[in-house]
Amino acid sequence: MSERRWHPLLGEWVVTATHRQDRTFLPPPDYCPLCPTRPGGFPTEVPQADYRFVVFDNKFPSMRSPAPEVAVEGNDLHPVAPAEGACEVVLYTPEHGGSLGAMSIPDIARLVRVWTDRYQNLGARPGIECVFIFENRGEAIGVTIHHPHGQIYAFPFIPPRIERERSQAEAHAHRTGRCLMCDVVADETKDGRRLVVEGEHFVAFIPFFARYPYETWLVSKQHRASLAELSRAESLDLACVLKNLLQRFDGLWQRPFPYMMVMHQAPTASSAAVGDHLHIEFYPPMRTPVKMKYLAGCESGAGTFINDTLPEDKAAELRQVILP
Amino acid sequence: MPVNPPELSPPVPVVPHPDPPSPEALMAMEEDMRRREVTLADGRSLSFYDFVPREED
């Protein structure tokens, strides 16, 4: 069962996906469904003995096309819609024990090209408005399969977080005539205290307004609305800065650093707005090696984050990590 | 009478920069990316991505 139900108080969709209760949960490495199917081994989701990068529909999707019939009838107060869309899995490597940060820069650069192709391919499908690329890493944020992989959701609407970001950017552009993210990048690079690593075309920093202790943004220094607008040099620099940042995360406490990685870029259903500016946001759930930052009453119930740390201090910690 | 110390400007951090791309990384950007679609008997489809040296015109 899968459908969209309208939340009238927040003005946003909630997706139900009851079949996901039965999805694969922390399988032992010998039975990883995302490894290649080895000769004589058990059949995985990839029926080949090896692969470089492979993308396929999530076996337990919250949205798909064609969407199943809705389970309940809606009404004016409670509209219901089929959960049209797509949910894809992106396998980064056939190596079960790898990670995005451990991949070579050439392989991360190739992955950037795969992401770009999926953004364009999914975005060209009828009814798709927003292609959302993300990765959940670590059991701390609910990962159920450890094999290095990311996900892509193709939404038939613009999700509320991205819609709100665009609305703020539009208001800023109306007021100043400039892109909001371009102004944020200019301010962060001028100030310097929250920078983590800076490449020729991309820069990573903990934003002035960070909600999580190690929340880090990786942003194109030039105004680029999406991956599709990057030059080859820019794609390669994205790979270099991304790897450098992920190595700092893992080096901070000398252990795999859990995070949510989400990419924001221009929706695909219409031409880009002035405030659409490609960037990746990382939300690491840990505030110390053994303490989590929970989204508790104030964050979940009021929508106001309480950050127990100063972004300037956390950025300095990440800058000081010695890379391997 | 106490005298306020002169206001100090914040120290300028030394911001790390990534190493310049290796020749291998530069070569990777010149490769052709090929997408191969495979449909399985159960109807599932997979997109395999391979990268090969660019063919000369």
At A60, is the pLDDT very low, low, confident or very high (cuts 50, 70, 90)? confident
A94 touches chain B (CB under 8 A): no
Higher pLDDT, A308 or A24: A308
Phi, psi of B17 (to 5 degrees): -120, 145
Per-residue pLDDT at B9: 63
Residue B4, CA atoms < 13 Å, CB-side half-sphere: 3
B19 touches chain A (CB under 8 A): yes
Is residue A78 within 8 Å of residue A35, measured between CB atoms?
A: no
Geometric angle at alpha carbon B27, from A35 and A244, rounded to 5°: 65
Give the number of beta-carbon pairs within 8 Å between A and B.
Answer: 93
Model pLDDT for residues A10-45, shown as the tens digit of each residue: 999 999 988 766 667 677 777 899 999 988 888 999
Identify the DSSP state of A292. Answer: B
B37 touches chain A (CB under 8 A): no
Question: Cβ separation of B48 and A54 shorter than 8 Å?
Answer: yes
Nearest residue of A to residue B25, measured between CA atoms: A106
Rounded to the nearest integer, the mean pLDDT of chain A is 94
Is residue B18 within 8 Å of residue A243, measured between CB atoms?
A: yes
| Range with lowest mean pLDDT among A34-48, A82-96, A207-221 | A34-48
Per-residue pLDDT at A209: 98
Model pLDDT for residues A263-281, shown as the tens digit of each residue: 999 999 888 888 999 999 9
A241 touches chain B (CB under 8 A): yes
Model pLDDT for residues B4-15, shown as the tens digit of each residue: 666 666 667 889
Residue A156 has pLDDT above 90, yes or no: yes
Per-residue pLDDT at B16: 94
Q: Supply the residues of A annotated as catalytic.
A: 149
Model pLDDT for residues A90-148, shown as the tens digit of each residue: 999 999 999 999 999 999 999 999 999 999 999 999 999 999 999 999 989 888 888 99
Using CB atoms within 10 Å of the CB of residue A103, give its burial: 0 to 12 exposed, 13 to 18 middle, 19+ buried. buried
Question: Cβ separation of B13 and A106 shorter than 8 Å?
Answer: no
Per-residue pLDDT at A214: 98
Per-residue pLDDT at A27: 75
Closest in B14, B21, B48 to A240, CB measured: B21
Per-residue pLDDT at A229: 97
Per-residue pLDDT at B57: 58
Closest in B13, B28, B48 to A316, CB measured: B13
Shortest Cα–Cα distance, A319 to chain B (Å): 7
Residue A73 has pLDDT above 70, yes or no: yes
Round the CA-based radius of gyration of chain B to a whole number and report it: 27
pLDDT cut 70: percent of chain A above it? 98
Residue B5, CA atoms < 13 Å, CB-side half-sphere: 3
Neighboring chain A residues of B16 at a CB cutoff of 8 Å: 196-198, 244, 319
Question: Cβ separation of A106 and B14 shorter than 8 Å?
Answer: no
At A250, is the pLDDT very low, low, confident or very high (cuts 50, 70, 90)? very high
Averaged over B27-53, what is the pLDDT? 93
At B23, is the pLDDT very low, low, confident or very high (cuts 50, 70, 90)? very high
B6 touches chain A (CB under 8 A): no
Question: Hey, of B29, B52, B54, which one would you mutate to test binding to chain A, going by the most A CBs within 10 A of its CB?
Answer: B29
Higher pLDDT, A14 or A324: A14
Dist CA A316 CA A214 (whole Å): 11
Could you tell me which of A301, A321, A292 has the C-alpha nearest to residue A213?
Answer: A292
| Range with lowest mean pLDDT among A150-164, A250-264, B30-44 | B30-44
Per-residue pLDDT at A20: 63
Per-residue pLDDT at B11: 67
pTM surpassing 0.90?
A: yes
Neighboring chain B residues of A322 at a CB cutoff of 8 Å: none
Q: How far is CA A255 from the centre of its chain?
A: 21
DSSP A48-94: SS--SEEEEE-SS-SS-SSPPPPSS---SSS-EEE--SEEEEEE--S
pLDDT cut 90: percent of chain B above it? 53
Tell me the residue type at A156.
P
Phi, psi of A313 (to 5 degrees): -70, -45
Nearest residue of A to residue B23, measured between CA atoms: A106
ipTM: 0.91
Closest in A53, A195, A235 to B13, CB measured: A195
